[in-house]
Amino acid sequence: MLFERELRNAVKNALIKLYKVDISSDEISIQPTRKDFEGDLTVVVFNLSKLAGKNPETLGNELGAWLVGNEREVESFNVVKGFLNIIIQKEAWIRIFTDACMDEDYWVCKPDLMMANHPVLVEYSSPNTNKPLHLGHVRNNLLGYSIANLLQASGNKVQKVNLINDRGIHICKSMLAWMKQGNGETPETTGMKGDHLVGKYYVAFDAIYKAEIEILINSGSTEEEAKKKAPVILEAQEMLRKWEAGDEETVALWKKMNAWVYDGFDKSYKMLGVDFDKFYYESEMYLLGKEIVQLGLDRGVFYKKQDGSVWVDLTEDGLDHKLLLRSDGTSVYITQDLGTAKKRFEDQKFSRLIYVVGNEQDYHFKVLKLILKKMSFDWADSLYHLSYNMVDLPSGKMKSREGTVVDADELMESMIQEATRITKELGKVDDFTDQEANELYEMIGMGALKYFILKVDPEKRMLFNPEESIDFNGNTGPFIQYTYARIRSVIRKANKTASIKLEESYSSADYAAMNEKEKELIKQMLKFPFVLGEAADRYSPAVMANYVYELAKTFNQFYHEFPIVDEAAIPTSKFRLLLCDQTSKTIKRTMSILGIGVPDRM
RNA sequence: GAUCCCGUAGCUCAGCUGGAUAGAGCAUCUGCCUUCUAAGCAGACGGUCAGGCGUUCGAAUCGCCUCGGGAUCACCA
C-alpha cells in the first residue's frame, strides 16, 4: 500500500531512536485507517508496546510525535485505544496522484523481458463436443479469460489455450443417435446452432439407452447388467473402436458433426467475448501418454502388472495405486494429461501452467502433479490447478441428463433482452441509432452477467436462480458501466467550455483545499497496482470486481456532493475534472481485465 | 469408510498474511430529480460470523472437535 513501506521504516527508526529497540520491519503492523477514524494509515502498537516497555497509549503518542517531527509527509496523528492513526499531508497525496496520472507505468505493469520466453499458459474452457455450453462453462470461460488478462496486466506473457475433448464415447453417442434418427438433419436444414443440434442427439441417445435398459430389467436383468448389455451402448462402443481404427465412414461423420459443434462454440465464445491463442484437440494428443508411460517404466517410477496394465504406487503419499495404461494398451484420462503437460513444457518452456478446471477434479490434478514430480520433472511445481466451485441452482446441482442445465446461449440472450427492456423503459437511447442501441444492450446485458459471476470468489460455490433475473442496480455490472458513462458525460460537457476542459498536463499547485471525498477517490485509485498484484497472486478476478465497485461507489458519492464543472471556480473544476478522467480510466482498465466493456453513454 | 472444499443479515455476496463498533447489494420502509445522466445519492430496519473448546493483549480469520451442505476416491472423462 502507498506510503506503507516508508512508514514501516520510519516506525522502525523511531523505535531505535526512542527506545533502543531494533525489530524487523515486518513485525510492524500497518493498515489503512478505518473509515470511522481520522487518518490515512494506522500503526497497531499493541505488540510494540511490550517491546518498548510502554503502555500502548503512551507509546502511540510518543511514536506519533516523533513521526511528525522527523517525517516530512506525516502531518499529524491521533491515538485511539492503542491504534496510532497517521495523517499524511494533502500535498503529498496530490503530488503522487498527479504524477501517477502522467505516468502510464504506474497503471500498467511492464512485461518482464526475462520471462518473455517463458509464458504463462492458461488452459480453460476445454469443452466436450457432444453438447452446447451451459452456465458452468460460462463460469469457467469468464474466469479463464479474466485470469489470463490479470496475469498479462501484471507483467506476464500469457498464452490462452483450449484443449477440446473431441473424442471418446460421448461424441459417439451423439453420432449414433443422429444416424438412427437424424434423417440427415443439419444445422442448415433445421436452422439450429450446430452444438445444440448435436446436443439434441446426445439427449436422444440417452432416451434410447434408458428405454433399452428398462426392457432388459423387465426381462430379468439386474440394472448393472442392463447398463452394460443395452444394444445401443454396445453399438456406441463399437463405433469408438471403429473411430480408433480410423474407419473412413466413422471418421467422416465425426468430422462433420464436430465441425457443427465448433461452429456453434465459435458463436458462443464470440458472444462471451473470450478467445484463445491456441486450440489443442484430444484426438491429436491422446497418444502422447504412451511415451510418458514408457519413460516412467524406464525410470522405475511405474510398474507393470501381469495383465499388461501400468500403474503408479502413490501410497506413500497417502493416496492409492493409480492406473496409467489399460491392459489393452489404451490410455486413460490422466495418461493424456501427463503426456500433454510434458509436450507443452518442451514446446513452450512455460513458467506456469494454469488449469482452469472445476473442483470436482481436485484429486485428478493432485495426482497429475505428484506423478510428474515423482518422475523428477522440475517443472512439475509450475503446474497450478485453479479449482473453481460449482454454480448451483435453487434445486441443487445442474445435471445435463435431467435437463436442469441453464443453457449458455439462452442465458446470454435473455440477459440482453432484459437489458433492452430496462434501457428502453428508462428512455436512455432515444437518440441512438439502431446499431448503437443494439451494441449497448449487448454490452449491458453481458456486463450484468459477467460481473454477477466474476464478483464471486472462484473457490466459493455460487447460486444462480433462473426465476429471478440478474440485477441491474446496486453492486452490478451496469452500475459500474453507468458510473463510467456518467463521468464521460461530465467530461464532454467540460470540454465544451474553454476554461475548464481536460488538459494534457496538470500542475499540482493549483488545488490544495482537497476535501475528504476527493482524497478518498485519490487513495482508491492509487491503490490500483496493489489490488492488481493481489488479484493476480490469488488468481481472483473477484478482487478486481470488488475494487471497481468500491471505486464507482465512491465516485458517485463525490459526484452527488460536489459540482464538477463550475466556471466560477476554475482551479477546483480543473482538479475535479482530472479526478473524473482518471476515475473513468481506472474503471475502464479494471473492467477490461474482467472482460466487460463500458459505454460512453447509457 | 477415507480425503478435500464450504457454512457471515430474510436472500446473494465482501471481509488480505489475526487488530478498533463485522460490511455491501437485493428485499422492506423513508427522504432527494428546474444545476454535470435518479441504472444514482442519503437514511432506517436487519448478525450468537453453524456450534463448542483452545492459542493470543486481541479470533469471522489460526488449531482441534461436533453438526450441516457439497465434491472426490473407476481398466469413465
Nearest-5° Cα angle at A423, A422 to A424: 90
Instruction: Provide the grid cell at A392.
Output: 448451483
The protein residue nearest nucleotide B13, judged by CA to C1', is A456
Q: Does residue A479 reach within 7 angstroms of strand B, measured from its CB?
A: yes
Q: pLDDT confidence of A484, banded at 50, 70, 90?
A: very high
Q: Is the four-CA dihedral A12, A15, A18, A19 of positive or negative sign? A: negative
HSE at residue A540, side-chain half, CA atoms within 13 A, is 18
List, in sequence order, every residue forming a beta bridge with A160; answer none if it has no partner: A122
DSSP code string of A470-539: PPSSSSSHHHHHHHHHHHHHHHHHHHTSTTT---S---GGG-----HHHHHHHHHHHTHHHHHHHHHHTT
Q: Does residue A565 reach within 7 angstroms of strand B, measured from its CB?
A: yes
Q: What is the pLDDT of residue A509?
A: 60
Q: What is the pLDDT of residue A268?
A: 97
Provide mean pLDDT across the span A244-255: 93
- Four-CA torsion A381, A382, A383, A386, nearest 10 degrees: 110
Q: What is the pLDDT of residue A109?
A: 82
Q: What is the CATH number of the domain that holds A21?
A: 3.30.1360.70
Residues A291/A339, Cβ–Cβ less than 8 Å: yes
Structural domain including A83 reads: 4-88
Provide mean pLDDT across the span A86-94: 92
Q: What is the number of domains present in chain A?
A: 2
**Has residue A17 been placed in a domain?**
yes
Residues 15-34 of A with CB within 7 A of strand B: 29, 31, 33-34
pLDDT in tens, A336-364: 899 999 999 999 999 999 999 999 999 99
Q: A141-154 burial by CB neighbour count: b if 16+ within 10 A, else e?
A: bbbbbbbbbbbbbb
Provide mean pLDDT across the span A421-430: 92
Nearest-5° Cα angle at A512, A508 to A516: 115
Q: What is the pLDDT of residue A369?
A: 93
HSE at residue A352, side-chain half, CA atoms within 13 A, is 20
For residue A387, pLDDT beyond 90: yes
**Has residue A231 been placed in a domain?**
no
Residues 357-396 of A with CB within 7 A of strand B: 359-364, 389-390, 396
- Nearest Cα residue to A520 out of A78, A42, A40: A40
For the ranges A25-29, A296-300, A396-400, A416-420, the lowest mean pLDDT is seen at A396-400
HEC profile of A548-596: HHHHHHHHHHHHHHCCCCCCCCHHHHHHHHHHHHHHHHHHHHHHHHCCC
**Has residue A407 been placed in a domain?**
no
**Has residue A213 been placed in a domain?**
no
**Has residue A268 been placed in a domain?**
no
For residue A236, pLDDT beyond 90: yes
Q: What is the Cα–Cα distance from A310 to A327, expressed in whole angstroms?
A: 8
DSSP code string of A368-411: HHHHHHHTT-GGGGGEEEEEEPPEEETTEE--GGGT---BHHHH
Q: What is the Cα–Cα distance from A159 to A329, expressed in whole angstroms?
A: 33
Instruction: Indicate the burial class of A155 (C-beta count within 10 angstroms; 0-12, 13-18, 19 or more).
Output: middle
Provide mean pLDDT across the span A97-102: 91
Provide mean pLDDT across the span A35-46: 91
Residue type, A170: H
3-state helix, strand, coil in chain A (%, to 5): 60, 10, 30
Q: pLDDT confidence of A453, banded at 50, 70, 90?
A: very high
Residue with cell 470468489: A457
Q: Is the four-CA dihedral A283, A284, A287, A288 of positive or negative sign? A: negative
**How many other C-beta atoms are found inside a 10 Å radius of the C-beta of residue A503?**
11
For residue A247, pLDDT beyond 90: yes
For residue A569, pLDDT beyond 90: no
Residues A481/A444, Cβ–Cβ less than 8 Å: yes
Percentage of chain A modeled with pLDDT above 90: 73
Q: Which residues contact A148 (CB under 8 A, 6 or more apart)?
A: A122, A124, A158, A160
- Nearest DNA or RNA nucleotide to A486 (CA to C1'): B37
Q: What is the pLDDT of residue A261?
A: 97
Q: pLDDT confidence of A404, banded at 50, 70, 90?
A: confident
- Nearest Cα residue to A172 out of A265, A248, A258, A286: A258
**Has residue A301 been placed in a domain?**
no
User: Between the CA of A67 and the C1' of B21, what is the distance in angstroms?
Assistant: 28
Q: Does residue A270 reach within 7 angstroms of strand B, measured from its CB?
A: no
List, in sequence order, every residue forming a beta bridge with A385; answer none if it has no partner: A355
Q: What is the CATH number of the domain that holds A520?
A: 1.10.730.10
Q: What is the pLDDT of residue A508?
A: 59
For residue A506, pLDDT beyond 70: no
Q: What is the pLDDT of residue A33?
A: 93
Out of A88, A114, A131, pick the residue that ends a domain: A88
Residues A149/A232, Cβ–Cβ less than 8 Å: no
- Nearest Cα residue to A449 out of A601, A267, A597, A276: A597
Q: What is the Cα–Cα distance from A67 to A45, expressed in whole angstroms?
A: 14
Please give the C-alpha separations between residue A130 and each of A165, A167, A199, A258, A501, in angstroms, as whole numbers: 9, 9, 6, 8, 56
Provide mean pLDDT across the span A319-343: 89
Q: Does residue A554 reach within 7 angstroms of strand B, measured from its CB?
A: no
Please give the C-alpha separations between residue A340 and each of A241, A276, A323, A469, A497, in angstroms, as whole numbers: 23, 17, 17, 41, 61
**Has residue A500 been placed in a domain?**
yes
Out of A60, A88, A116, pick the residue that ends a domain: A88
Percentage of chain A modeled with pLDDT above 70: 98
Provide mean pLDDT across the span A189-217: 93
* Helix H or strand E segment including A47: helix A46-52
Q: What is the Cα–Cα distance from A88 to A80, expressed in whole angstroms?
A: 17
Instruction: Indicate the burial class of A184 (C-beta count within 10 angstroms; 0-12, 13-18, 19 or more).
Output: exposed
For residue A570, pLDDT beyond 70: yes
Q: What is the pLDDT of residue A438?
A: 97
Q: What is the Cα–Cα distance from A95 to A97, expressed in whole angstroms?
A: 5
For residue A511, pLDDT beyond 70: no
**Has residue A587 been placed in a domain?**
yes
Mean pLDDT of chain A: 91
For residue A504, pLDDT beyond 80: no
Provide mean pLDDT across the span A13-27: 88
Q: pLDDT confidence of A222, banded at 50, 70, 90?
A: confident
In which region does residue A278 sit, left (phi positive, over 0), alpha (psi from -120 to 50) or beta (all else)?
beta
Residues 195-234 of A with CB within 7 A of strand B: none
**How many other C-beta atoms are found inside a 10 Å radius of the C-beta of residue A404?**
14
DSSP code string of A283-323: HHHTTHHHHHHHHHHHTTSEEE-TTS-EEEE-GGGT--EEE
Q: pLDDT confidence of A401, banded at 50, 70, 90?
A: low
Instruction: Indicate the burial class of A427 (C-beta count within 10 angstroms; 0-12, 13-18, 19 or more).
Output: exposed
For the ranges A149-153, A283-287, A292-296, A319-323, the lowest mean pLDDT is seen at A283-287
Residues 297-356 of A with CB within 7 A of strand B: 305, 307, 309, 318, 320, 323, 326-328, 332-333
Q: Measured in whole angstroms, how far is the alpha carbon of residue A528 from the centre of its chain?
A: 17
Residue with cell 427492456: A421
Q: What is the pLDDT of residue A402?
A: 66
Provide mean pLDDT across the span A209-228: 88
Residues 126-185 of A with CB within 7 A of strand B: 128, 165, 168-169
User: Between the CA of A389 and the C1' of B71, what is the distance in angstroms?
Assistant: 9
pTM here is: 0.95
Out of A37, A60, A88, pick the residue that ends a domain: A88
User: Between the CA of A61 and the C1' of B54, what is the distance in angstroms?
Assistant: 35
For residue A76, pLDDT beyond 90: yes
Give, as one character, the DSSP assignment of residue A335: H
Q: What is the Cα–Cα distance from A356 to A147, expressed in whole angstroms?
A: 9
User: Between the CA of A332 and the C1' of B8, what is the distance in angstroms?
Assistant: 42
Q: What is the Cα–Cα distance from A84 to A73, expressed in whole angstroms?
A: 16
Q: Which bases along strand B come within 7 Å of a protein CB atom?
A: 3-7, 11-16, 19-21, 24-27, 35-42, 57-58, 70-77
- Nearest DNA or RNA nucleotide to A418 (CA to C1'): B39
